Structure 1
């Protein structure tokens, strides 16, 4: 699954959206999907099927013992499905009670592998009671054998089962067919079979669509809803005339039919390949499409008809073919399906979902309009398409056996998305950006004592909420980072070779992550390593965190230790590796250049080659291919800083970004001084490259979080304004006074940084520029602001303005027909300094007519990112938590993002007590996928308090001195 508000991570680079006095960039950590809240009502809700003409037994009222199979979250290994026949009819208009519903029936054919008189099949929020007078459940045996009768049934809502009791045992080795009819609500909760709405020419249109991952196929039809329970699916959709039906496989036939006098259409699809339930998709809409065929594969882009007609699907169509062909070569395997449909949905919680043959997207993740979409919007589309297409093999063709290995599925796609996007846009140099978007981003989470390992034990991941909690930055970004490291030390050729044999062995089946290690080990035969692939990678996969490697260039001594942002925090999770890693080190000397790969496979070792004399310096973790930070002795730090200030181009661009990021985080961990970290920014007045600037801005965001309410704020603004004005003037010059856009991909990003930071730090020329552009739009109703610059210009103009500017932007947001433009406006609306406007905006987040449910979480976080809005967002979240959790727990709210985002600025004893009280007050309500985020927020607040008390005076003095003209 691709990330949402990123959403997760954000796939691609998002421009810095900050106001003059507002907080810096908000980084969405994870994508948390369908959050299933526990039901306390009626664990034994009875439904009464009839079978073979017999009468159903009365409801069972005896309490169910907790050790029964139906009280366990994992299916018993007694029945294995082979194929399903599923027929669904979504109603795109509400019934007499105002509810949208869908009707369906399914026949699942399964084999009995262990004799049993019980059938457990997943079912959640499906209704069988209204069918009590019909034979809604029937069991028959294949090949004429006699099947037991269903004697009673019930819905076990906590574990989400339909429980069917039989009057005899199913026979081992025999095949059976279970037919069931059901009704479900086509709700707007963004999970299972759900409803998305939009307006076209003033008319409301309804889309019936799906999001099954991880555990919501059971909301669409009763099924064995575990990834290892692969089967073939025969899908039939009954839908209104004038609508288009889509599913994973090709359409087989479509014919008109009439039900209760209503003209309908019955569309039957060809059987799918053997696949997991979470990858199913079926959609009914009035969308249009464009198409192309490459080497026999039909590629189609679906979206709202006006979007298709405006050419917004053209970019995605043009890039899907090249990316698909790249992965065919990379995997040495033909695309397994005859078609690749991609569809942009108005309401979608994730960034995208890799349904096999029918990939679903947020509109912002698939649709591109040159007049409205920015450079970062285009990159987001390319990388997300690559992410989802990578899954067509890795995840879909070969599927991990259970969700505890989710990290490998999502981490792999999050790594190779950069390879696929590079193939589509080779001039972007996009592969380097994984360092900023994934490596550095996840370091911040993995450096907490409350982090967790990549791989969990299978028995520890049972409940839907536990599964949802895995969709976080660790699974996506750390997974991507360690796999990139693995590919580097094995070499890309060996990595690809092992991957190819892995896919060939397990195609159409399931695997565990160690199966991949085994194939990589075979491919790496003859390569000299300090251990097996399994031995090396276990140190990165089975324990949380990462090391800081310290190099003493006077002695050649190199050591490692577990890196913690708060060195005083207590790590309560034991590690069989004692927090020691087998570390591959790529490094160089200023005299002598790049050196051979060196392995640190102990707590400490001495490498004579790392000794230096004179002005010669050592730089380790070249291109940040390793998942670790690097510290040096003071003399080597001095030599590196001197090089930055005199000839910074002698150090690679990525490593300049690394030096800044490592230094600030080493200072947070009290390994080096904060003053030393701040010294790495002194050279920035001469820096013109994007990555070092982005690294510095990202790290200085923490200083804004800690000090934008204190006396440090003014001197900090003075210093940063002095550093950024040369960059601002550079872009003013090369763009002809802002009349053109830089040609380079990274340069376009850095122009946004220059304007954003210059305006944020109070550079009058920049602020006037932003407000004048915005006022011109208000007066002429013609938007002349380049799409790349709109986010930062909108934000700064709204921050400087009042109700008139806010209401103008709100009106444009409400009437926006381009999703990327609506996104820019929605974000910028959070930048106002008017408290009453921010409070009103917060209220809008709980009204789907104002803010779509998919956007509610990120909107609240954006508001919390504004120094004026943060306490408002905190009060809002606390006072509404029970409502938010219960009403939005079905998939539209990312609780982990919400809790982390709203509490990120906390740094006082009072805020810590409020946070602890919030945890205590809502223990009965729960936090779902945000449970870990609450503890992380408490840990982060304590660390922030200590950091301020230890650093405030020195930081203030440094900024005062450095900010002088």
Structure 2
């Protein structure tokens, strides 16, 4: 699955422009099915027990336990290993119009052929929110007749249909279970659901679409819904004439039929490869498409007709073939399907989903408009496409056995997405951006005592909400970071050699993460690569224990040591079997001379090569290929600071960014002085590269969060003004603000220059953006603002303006059909400074006709990022928690971003008490997949309180001194 949250390079203006300094996180959102009882008399109560056949030996339904836990199999979260599915035939008929009761429904039937592994008189199969009709039959496919079904019962909590038989199924024999069912085609973004949009004529259109990962295939039809239960699927869709049906396989027949007097089209798809239920997809819509042929491979991009007609799918089509061919070579494995369909959906909970042969996307992750989409939007499209195409092999062809190893799927795709995108856009140097987008991002979470290891025990990830919770930054970004480190110290050639044999050996099957270590070890042995320990021994320390080390290098004594890095060193993390020691690959230079890699294999060691004289400096973790932070003795820090000031290009650009990030976080942990960290930003008045600037702004965001309500704020603004003015003047001279630079990352830094200059009130900047926005307001049909700069301009103008500017932005938000433009406007409207506007905007998030459900929580987070909206958003979340939780909370894999987003500014005892009271008051409602986020927010707030108390005076004085003329 694509990342469920995304920080646009240009949407990051929301906080800084209004003085909050916080980047608004664009998160994906999955809405939990509402608990309302269906009004439709076709949809029966799921608690009903049906009986058929003889009643001998039928368990009395009154004695069947209905609570969890118990030792009964229907009260367990995992399927018993008694049955193994082989093939399914599923026929579905989604209704794209409401029925008499005002509901959208779908009907269907399913036949699953399974093999009996162990004798049993109980069939357990997943079924959630489906009404199973009284027509279930069991047929034996061998010589002996099948047992009779004597009783069935639904278990909504564990999401099973239990079927008791009058005698046992026989091990080794195959059987076919047939069911008919009815479900609601609701707008909950999970399972078989509906998405709605208005076409270019203002007519409401309904799309029937799917999102099965992780545990929602069972909402579409009864199935053995676990990733290891692979089978072949035969899908048939009945749909209205004039609509298009899609599924994983190619269409093998499309014929008109009549059902219950209704004229329909029946579309039959070719059988899938052997695959997991979570990778299924089927869609009925009125979308159109563009296509190209790549030898015998059909590549198609589907979207709303208006989007296709506006050429918004052209960029995705142009890069898909290049990326597919790259991965075929990278994996040394041909793409295993005859087609690659990609479809942009108006309502979608994640960034994208890697369904085999039919990848689903948010519109912002697939569609690119040449005029209205920014450089960041373009990068978003190519990296998400690369992420999902990487999964077609790693995840789909070879699949994890259980969700506790999700990090391997998502971490791997999050790493190689940069390789695939680099193939499509070789001039962007996009591979470097993994440091900002993933490594730095996850460092912040993994430095908390409430973090968690990459891989958990299977028994710790059982319930659907527990599964949703592992779809987090650790799985995606830490997974990517440690795999990148592994590839670096093995070499890319050895890494890919092991990867290729792994995929070949396990294709169409399931694995655990240690299977990959075994194949990488084989590659190490075959190539004679020297390692200090086995691949498994090295990597288990990075995978089985949370966190990461800070490596301290003393260039005076030559001593090197490692310590578990915690933002609050006084917190007590869970015990680790490795005692928080890692085998650390250290890449390093001495005065630009690259040295051989050094392995730190214990807590402390002596390495005299790192001793320096008065004219030398040591720099470790070159290009941040290692997943660790680095600290130095004071003399080496001073030499590095001097190098930044006098000869910054002697330090690689990624390491200029890393020195800033390391220093600020070491200071937050109390390891070095905060003033030393602030000094790493002094060279920025002569820096024009994007990565150091972005690293500094990301870290200064924390100072804004802590101090934008105190006297520190004004002096901090004065210092930032001094540093950013030369950058603003650089881009004024380079572009005169009439266009954008050619270089990819320089375009991003142009945005930084504009947004920061406006945030500190630089008159040339504010005059520029207000004039552009005013010009647009005077002629709404002609937007004079370059797409890259729109987020900054919109936010600045709305912050400086009032209701008139806000209402204009809302009007244009409703008017545009370009998803990326909607996102820019939606984030910018959170920049308003009038409380009544922000409160009204918060209320809009409860109305899906105003703010789509997929965007509701990210909008709340954007408002909370505004210093004027922080308390309003927090009050709003507390007042509406039960509704928000029931709508968005239980199963959303990124719901935790809401909790983190509205509490990230907390830094007082009063706010801590409020947070703990909120936790206590809502225990009875629950926090679902945000449970860990509550603990992390409490821990982070305590650390913030302590940090502010210890550092405020020094920070205030430093900014005062720096801002003097």
Equivalent-residue separation in structure 1 for 2:14 and 2:656 (angstroms): 24
The answer on whether the counterparts of 1:248 and 1:282 sit within 8 Å (CA) in structure 2 is: yes
Output one character per residue of 1:813-846: Cα deviation in whole Å (capped at 9) or x when no partner: 0111100000000000000001001000000101
Residue 895 of structure 1, CA deviation: 2.3
* Secondary structure at the counterpart of residue 428 of structure 1: coil
Residue 14 of structure 1, CA deviation: 5.1
The answer on whether the counterparts of 1:870 and 1:902 sit within 8 Å (CA) in structure 2 is: yes
The answer on whether the counterparts of 1:152 and 1:165 sit within 8 Å (CA) in structure 2 is: yes
The answer on whether the counterparts of 1:190 and 1:892 sit within 8 Å (CA) in structure 2 is: no
Give the alignment's TM-score, normalised by structure 2: 0.97
Equivalent-residue separation in structure 2 for 1:829 and 1:771 (angstroms): 15
Match of 1:547 in 2: 549
Indicate whether 1:746 and 2:745 are aligned. Answer: yes
954-963 vs 41-50, which moves further: 41-50
Residue 35 of structure 1, CA deviation: 5.8
* Secondary structure at the counterpart of residue 18 of structure 1: helix
**Ranges of 4+ aligned residues in structure 1 off by more than 2 Å:** 10-22, 24-44, 53-59, 887-895
Residue 263 of structure 1, CA deviation: 1.5
Indicate whether 1:90 and 2:87 are aligned. Answer: no
Indicate whether 1:75 and 2:79 are aligned. Answer: yes
Equivalent-residue separation in structure 1 for 2:457 and 2:561 (angstroms): 30
* Secondary structure at the counterpart of residue 596 of structure 2: coil
Match of 1:524 in 2: 524
Residue 38 of structure 1, CA deviation: 10
Match of 1:193 in 2: 192
Alignment of 1:324-723 (within 5 A): 324-525=324-525, 526-571=528-573, 573-590=574-591, 593-723=593-723
Output one character per residue of 1:324-366: Cα deviation in whole Å (capped at 9) or x when no partner: 0000000000001000000000000100000000000000000
C-alpha distance 187-39 of structure 1, shift in aligned 2 (>3 A) = closer
Match of 1:162 in 2: 161
* Secondary structure at the counterpart of residue 329 of structure 2: helix
* Secondary structure at the counterpart of residue 565 of structure 1: coil
Equivalent-residue separation in structure 2 for 1:43 and 1:894 (angstroms): 31
Residue 12 of structure 1, CA deviation: 7.1
Equivalent-residue separation in structure 2 for 1:663 and 1:58 (angstroms): 66
Equivalent-residue separation in structure 2 for 1:143 and 1:464 (angstroms): 36
Residue 889 of structure 1, CA deviation: 3.5
The answer on whether the counterparts of 2:340 and 2:358 sit within 8 Å (CA) in structure 1 is: yes
Output one character per residue of 1:477-526: Cα deviation in whole Å (capped at 9) or x when no partner: 00000000000000000000000000000000000000000000010112
Give the alignment's TM-score, normalised by structure 1: 0.97
Residue 425 of structure 1, CA deviation: 0.1
The answer on whether the counterparts of 1:299 and 1:339 sit within 8 Å (CA) in structure 2 is: yes
Match of 1:126 in 2: 130
* Secondary structure at the counterpart of residue 13 of structure 2: coil
The answer on whether the counterparts of 2:464 and 2:891 sit within 8 Å (CA) in structure 1 is: no
* Secondary structure at the counterpart of residue 47 of structure 1: coil
Output one character per residue of 1:929-949: Cα deviation in whole Å (capped at 9) or x when no partner: 000000100000000000000
Output one character per residue of 1:42-64: Cα deviation in whole Å (capped at 9) or x when no partner: 9981231646x999979722251
The answer on whether the counterparts of 2:288 and 2:305 sit within 8 Å (CA) in structure 1 is: yes
Equivalent-residue separation in structure 2 for 1:338 and 1:218 (angstroms): 27
C-alpha distance 108-697 of structure 1, shift in aligned 2 (>3 A) = same
Residue 33 of structure 1, CA deviation: 5.1
Residue 21 of structure 1, CA deviation: 3.2
Structure 2, gaps ≥5 residues long: 39-43
Equivalent-residue separation in structure 2 for 1:56 and 1:267 (angstroms): 43
Equivalent-residue separation in structure 2 for 1:94 and 1:643 (angstroms): 68
Residue 67 of structure 1, CA deviation: 1.2
C-alpha distance 11-739 of structure 1, shift in aligned 2 (>3 A) = closer
Output one character per residue of 1:681-710: Cα deviation in whole Å (capped at 9) or x when no partner: 111000000000000000000000000000
C-alpha distance 36-160 of structure 1, shift in aligned 2 (>3 A) = farther
* Secondary structure at the counterpart of residue 139 of structure 2: strand
Provide the alpha-carbon RMSD of the alignment: 1.9
C-alpha distance 38-643 of structure 1, shift in aligned 2 (>3 A) = farther
C-alpha distance 43-408 of structure 1, shift in aligned 2 (>3 A) = farther
The answer on whether the counterparts of 2:10 and 2:751 sit within 8 Å (CA) in structure 1 is: no
Residue 295 of structure 1, CA deviation: 2.3
* Secondary structure at the counterpart of residue 242 of structure 1: coil
C-alpha distance 217-77 of structure 1, shift in aligned 2 (>3 A) = same
Output one character per residue of 1:418-465: Cα deviation in whole Å (capped at 9) or x when no partner: 000000000000000000000000000000000000000011111000
* Secondary structure at the counterpart of residue 754 of structure 1: helix
C-alpha distance 512-113 of structure 1, shift in aligned 2 (>3 A) = same
Residue 390 of structure 1, CA deviation: 0.1
Match of 1:870 in 2: 870
Equivalent-residue separation in structure 1 for 2:797 and 2:611 (angstroms): 53
Match of 2:261 in 1: 261
The answer on whether the counterparts of 2:94 and 2:238 sit within 8 Å (CA) in structure 1 is: yes
The answer on whether the counterparts of 1:323 and 1:424 sit within 8 Å (CA) in structure 2 is: yes
Residue 891 of structure 1, CA deviation: 5.3
The answer on whether the counterparts of 1:3 and 1:11 sit within 8 Å (CA) in structure 2 is: no
* Secondary structure at the counterpart of residue 249 of structure 2: coil
Equivalent-residue separation in structure 2 for 1:427 and 1:791 (angstroms): 25
Output one character per residue of 1:861-900: Cα deviation in whole Å (capped at 9) or x when no partner: 0000000001000000001111111123465684200000
The answer on whether the counterparts of 2:798 and 2:829 sit within 8 Å (CA) in structure 1 is: yes
Alignment of 1:770-789 (within 5 A): 770-781=769-780, 782-789=782-789
Equivalent-residue separation in structure 2 for 1:56 and 1:866 (angstroms): 65
Match of 1:172 in 2: 171
The answer on whether the counterparts of 2:301 and 2:317 sit within 8 Å (CA) in structure 1 is: yes
Equivalent-residue separation in structure 2 for 1:58 and 1:161 (angstroms): 16
Equivalent-residue separation in structure 1 for 2:768 and 2:531 (angstroms): 57
Equivalent-residue separation in structure 1 for 2:424 and 2:935 (angstroms): 41
Residue 260 of structure 1, CA deviation: 2.6
C-alpha distance 915-397 of structure 1, shift in aligned 2 (>3 A) = same
Match of 2:756 in 1: 757
Count of residue correspondences: 953
Residue 207 of structure 1, CA deviation: 0.1
Equivalent-residue separation in structure 2 for 1:594 and 1:760 (angstroms): 40
Match of 2:286 in 1: 286
Residue 569 of structure 1, CA deviation: 1.5
Match of 1:732 in 2: 732
Match of 1:110 in 2: 114
* Secondary structure at the counterpart of residue 923 of structure 1: coil
C-alpha distance 48-336 of structure 1, shift in aligned 2 (>3 A) = same
